[in-house]
Amino acid sequence: MTHNELTWKFLNEFDVESSTLAQARAISLEHGLNPISPAVGAQLALVAAATNATNMIEIGTGCGLSGLWLLSGAPEATLTSIDPEFEYHEQAREFFTEAGFPASRVRLITGKALDVLPRMNENSYDVVLVDGDPNQVEQNVEHALRLVRVGGTVLVPHILHDGDVANPAKRTAAVNGLRAVLTAAQESENIVAALSPAGDGLLQFTKIS
């Protein structure tokens, strides 16, 4: 292995998941989902803890893995999670219960993100996770910026899209949308942004005005 490959392997094996997180990952893979890596999950938990989050929202519940990571960093917070698949919500609910998070602090909304997000209160969330349909990432990030409070953070995992974002030959709608989000994050004066290479990439930006 090269030096970079060894570093990458060490980085992505550093964080160890609990049994509940490991089960949620296994079920996610069985459903053909693309779950966040443990390294990205640990960063979600860190941001939730550092933000002292009390109100969080995620776009894309899946089987609950990312929500479990967020709540592990802010166990007293309330999490709202949106996904169009009722089956995923049923599975996620089991994992949240198993992890000890009461139903009163986990609000699962079954529906399309672009139908649900306009009804959410703006400037109301400490952390917003955007992990829904990659073809709608630009619209979802726009909503995220509206929903997050000043001082709050938006998290966009899978931002590198299996390396496609760095490959100029790749020009699908999803890849172009992710590039547009990255460009906007670089150019905006209203946020402070950072791009992590962990997992499949994690874009983090904090709203400052």
* Cβ 36 vs Cβ 62: under 8 Å: no
State residue 164's pLDDT score.
93
State residue 155's pLDDT score.
98
Nearest 5°: the CA angle 199, 131, 15 is 30
Structure token pair of residue 181? 């989000």
pLDDT digits (tens, 9 = 90+) for 61-97: 999 999 999 999 999 999 999 999 999 999 999 999 9
Ranges of residues in the chain with a pLDDT under 70 are: 3, 8, 11-12, 15
pLDDT digits (tens, 9 = 90+) for 9-20: 776 677 678 899
- pLDDT-above-90 percentage for the chain: 88
| pTM of this structure | 0.93
H helix intervals, the chain: 3-13, 19-30, 38-50, 65-73, 86-98, 113-116, 137-147, 173-187
* CB-based burial label for 117 (10 Å; 0-12, 13-18, 19+): buried
